[in-house]
Amino acid sequence: MVKQALVIGGGPAGLMAAEQLLAAGLGVTIAEAKPSFGRKFLMAGKFGLNLTKDEPSDDFGAQFYEAAPLLVPMLKQFGPQQMMAWADALGAEVFTGSSGRVFPKAMKASPLLRAWLGRLAQGGAEFKTRWRWVGWQEDGYGFDTPEGRVVQPADVCILALGGASWARLGSDGAWTSILSQKGVSLAPFLPANAALNIDWSAHMQPHFGEALKSIAFLTPKGAVRGEAIISRAGLEGSGIYSLSRDVRSGAKIKIDLLPDWSLEKVAQALSQPRGKASLSNFLRKRLKLGPPKRALLHELCAQLPQSPKALAAVIKALPLRHQGLAPMDGAISTAGGVRWQALSPDLMLNACPGVFCAGEMLDWEAPTGGYLITASMATGAWAGAQAAQYAQRH
Ligand SMILES: Cc1cc2nc3c(=O)[nH]c(=O)nc-3n(C[C@H](O)[C@H](O)[C@H](O)COP(=O)(O)OP(=O)(O)OC[C@H]3O[C@@H](n4cnc5c(N)ncnc54)[C@H](O)[C@@H]3O)c2cc1C
């Protein structure tokens, strides 16, 4: 008899797991709480859909902090090269930007998702939407559905329920109460890749929406090049998101407004006679500091020093005063989730034989840059393949 697999959660991790299970000859049902699949994936598409980063696997794996040794074997099986081949096979031509980031040429997710769901349907997957998993029942997995409570039996199950940000897209983290009742060890969710809250003075208002380009963030790990957008609530953008882990640990961060200039070069430029020029004009002329950088300098340092050397030091290391990370629900991703010690190397829950986990619900984090979707799909592929073998064995 054909073994039956149930995949709960229709994001990239769940759909990738379903693909593996179908390829291994299992019957597959994919159940999703929302009225449609891949809502966060589609939202990622609105921001350009950075699928992966084309870099050597060791560099890629190193972005996952303490989870790197656990994820690397999975990323070796499904890493940047496999991601590009996967997109290509679904008819989405990709290109690699100068930073190594890989995007579909269409810069959106909907054609890719449509083709993916089509291929899964052709492979025989059964799709269930508006099916919210509410826990285990005696005969299987219980769902709240528009038709009332449904119990779905399965030989193996993949949980791919996502992290805990952008709850309106489905990843609300509500599944944690079901798993903790089973004794599964969970790390608390924390915002990763989140914006920074800053109580701006009224002077910053004209600069909302402006970009701070070619800056570097000075963190305990060293200088990180990036950029940021000034928003009403503070600062956002990929450079800021990459600081979340440091901010969570209470690290003090500074901004180098001129990372391409040495301290001496800045001090020398500031030593030129200023004449009648205002300080702002002088900074614009001598250092080519644009309006958002000048505004930030005045905002974050109320009393700018007079001496060229001391002023240069502030420009090269401006203390980033902030009110902490923006609320988790607005974060691009979350840290925390199912702890690795709750899982076998196959990604099966030790407490629940036959139940595997994948995607952002696992306790790992990474910066933006394509690492998130790649790792979600890599763990999905791994869990799917291991679940298929488990089903055949039992
Ligand atoms: C604005 C934004 C932009 C992003 N851009 C990028 C990017 O460019 N590159 C990148 O790599 N990453 C990006 N990400 C992150 C990336 O989208 C996620 O890491 C990825 O979607 C995680 O995949 P997942 O399958 O693990 O979880 P999700 O995509 O969150 O899917 C989980 C699914 O499980 C369903 N679910 C949850 N609970 C239940 C339940 N009880 N019953 C049934 N179903 C349930 C949810 O509805 C959801 O559909 C972005 C995220 C955001 C918010």
pLDDT tens digits for range 281-326: 999 999 999 999 999 999 999 899 999 999 999 999 999 999 999 9
- Residues near ligand 1 with C-beta < 6 Å? 8-14, 31-34, 39-41, 43-44, 47, 49-50, 132-133, 160-162, 166, 170-171, 175, 332-333, 359-360, 370, 372-373, 376
Distance CA 359, CA 17 (A): 10
- Provide mean pLDDT across the span 104-126: 96
Confidence check: pLDDT of 370 > 90: yes
Q: Give the Å distance between the CA of 364 and the centre of ligand 1.
A: 14
Residues 6+ apart with CB under 8 A from 24: 384, 385, 388, 389, 391, 392
Residue minimizing CA distance to atom 14 of ligand 1: 44
What is the per-residue pLDDT for 57? Answer: 84
**Average pLDDT, whole number, for the chain?**
97
CB atoms within 10 A of CB 337: 28
pLDDT of residue 336: 98
Give the mutation target among 53, 332, 377 for probing the ligand 1 site: most ligand atoms within 8 A of CB: 332
- Which pTM was predicted? 0.96
Q: Is residue 103 over pLDDT 90?
A: yes
Share of the chain above pLDDT 70, in %: 100
Q: Which pLDDT score, from 0 to 100, does residue 58 have?
A: 87
Per domain, the residue ranges of the chain are 4-191+331-393, 196-319
Q: Which fold has domain 4-191+331-393?
A: FAD/NAD(P)-binding domain (3.50.50)
The secondary structure of residue 237, as a DSSP letter, is S
Q: What is the pLDDT of residues 130-140, one digit of tens each?
A: 999 999 999 99
Query: 11: CA distance to ligand 1 center in Å?
Result: 5
Q: For position 317, what pLDDT does the model report?
A: 98
Give the position, in ligand 1's atom list, of the atom nearest the Cα of 161.
Answer: 34
Residue type, 192: A
Query: How does pLDDT run across 154-204, given as a tens digit for each residue?
Result: 999 999 999 999 999 999 999 999 999 999 999 999 999 999 999 999 999
For the segment 235-257, the average pLDDT, to the nearest whole number, is 96
According to the per-residue pLDDT averaged within each range, which of 44-48, 97-101, 273-277, 376-380 is highest? 376-380
**Tokens 């291994």 found at:** 24
Comparing CA positions, the residue from 214, 240, 242 lying closest to residue 322 is: 240
